[in-house]
Amino acid sequence: MRHGKKINHLGRTTAHRHAMLSNMASSLIISKRLTTTVAKAKALRKYVEPLLTKSKEDTTHSRRMVFASLQNKESVKELFGDVAAKVANRPGGYTRIIKLSDSRLGDNADMCIIELVDYNETLLEAKQAAAEKTTTTRRSRSRKKATGDAATSATEVKGEAVAPAATVAESAPADTPTETAENGESRDEAKADA
């Protein structure tokens, strides 16, 4: 049984696991996206999200704490520069795991992509387009109809009689001859007689 075992050891020793997660976190921060196994991605998410939270506060202490975990100056510089500005107003959930349909060829391991949420341009563009697009729902259409019906019923309630629209019969223009059918003749028979 696995009662109380919260850490996935990933089949590695502690030192090997910390080094691997540190390298993967540095790669994720620099390249914004990684393709790895699902188990490693879940372990990496637990490792990198507290580092991203620490990067929101740019102090010497937080830089030293992050550098102690990452051991990579370029990734620390990228994290506190560009990434921290993007995740500043996000309360958490900085990474996204997208499972891939195909598995790894050698050992059939489930593969996935782990990425920083604020750097997926296709999803951000789709979200902005959806926000800009104004949609009408059935409820909003019924409100428009209800306001139109209420306006006509309000005139009737006031006691004003609303007359139906008058119909005007138009006669044929003066220059065209008109023929009339008499004694139950059809138009064709009237034309034949004329």
Segment 138-150 shows an average pLDDT of: 62
Question: What's the Cα-to-Cα distance from 188 to each of 178, 181, 184, 185, rounded to whole Å?
Answer: 14, 9, 12, 8
Residue 99 has pLDDT above 70, yes or no: yes
Query: Tell me, what's the pLDDT at 132?
Result: 81
Q: How far are the Cα atoms of 9, 11, 50, 104, 156 from residue 39, in angstroms, in the given order?
A: 10, 11, 18, 13, 70
How far apart are the C-alpha atoms of 119 and 114, rounded to whole Å?
A: 11
- Domain over 14-122 is classified CATH 3.90.1030.10: yes
Task: Report pLDDT digits (tens) over 174-188.
Answer: 665 555 556 667 667
pTM of the predicted model over 0.75 = no
| 5-51 confidence digits (pLDDT tens) | 889 999 999 999 999 999 999 999 999 999 999 999 999 999 999 99
Q: Give the three-state DSSP class for 135.
A: coil
Banded model confidence at residue 133, pLDDT cuts 50, 70, 90: confident
76 vs 189 pLDDT, higher one? 76
What pLDDT sits at residue 128? 81
Summary mean pLDDT of the chain: 83
pLDDT value at residue 131: 81
Across the range 73-79, mean pLDDT stands at 96
Residue percentage of the chain with pLDDT more than 90: 58
Q: What is the pLDDT of residues 52-65, one digit of tens each?
A: 999 999 999 999 99
Q: Is 82 helix (H, G, I), strand (E, B) or coil?
A: helix
The 8-class DSSP code of residue 176 comes to: S
Give the pLDDT confidence score for residue 155 in this predicted structure: 47
Helices and strands per DSSP (H, E), number in the chain: 8, 3
Domain ranges within the chain, ordered by starting residue: 14-122
144 versus 119: the higher-pLDDT residue is: 119
